Amino acid sequence: MALPTKLPPGIQAERVQRLNSLPPSGDGKYVLYWMQRSVRTEYNHALEYAIHTANAMGLPVCVLFVLTQGYPGANERHYAFLLQGLADALSALQRRGVRLATRLARDGSVPAAVLRHAADAAVLVTDRGYTRVLRGWREEVGGGAQCAVVQVCRCGVVWRRVGSNVFSDPPYLAQ
């Protein structure tokens, strides 16, 4: 089993990045989309990539959102906005026949919760967040998953990695 070589319409190859070098798990029961930054179903390249990949593999898609109580700088208004977005996403996903699982990372470890769900996944797809916390979570998940992990960017500009520089965070330039 391999990742599809043809991308869904509207998703440029520059937006797709592997976070590990593992192949899809042959024992995987679904394609897992870990929704973190893009809590929406419209204009969500990672969701569309996950659905495209699942269709190519003949598997269902499961969307996972893990909520943490201790996200730096978050307050009640942030959580209210997030939960409203999740309710909207749930309705839209149900119309498409896609399951949404939400979990609370009581121990504060979002990556551990994601990896528990990824244990049965053929492929794990995630969107891309730019905060230090989200980058750290993705690194931990990419290094700990036992299946292919793919990140899909939906920012307004396609970014091109140009190298590491301690004075630029993240080390990317716009094309």
Domain positions in the chain: 13-174
For 121-131, the pLDDT digits (tens) are: 999 999 988 88
Cβ-based neighbours of 44, under 8 Å, separated by 6 or more = 38, 127, 154
Which burial class, exposed, middle or buried, applies to 125 when counting CB atoms under 10 A from its CB (0-12, 13-18, 19+)?
buried
For 45-77, the pLDDT digits (tens) are: 999 999 999 999 999 999 999 998 878 888 899
pLDDT score for 71: 81
Query: Which CATH number is 13-174 given?
Result: 3.40.50.620
pTM above 0.95, yes or no: no
Question: Whole-angstrom distance between the N-terminal and C-terminal Cα of the chain?
Answer: 33
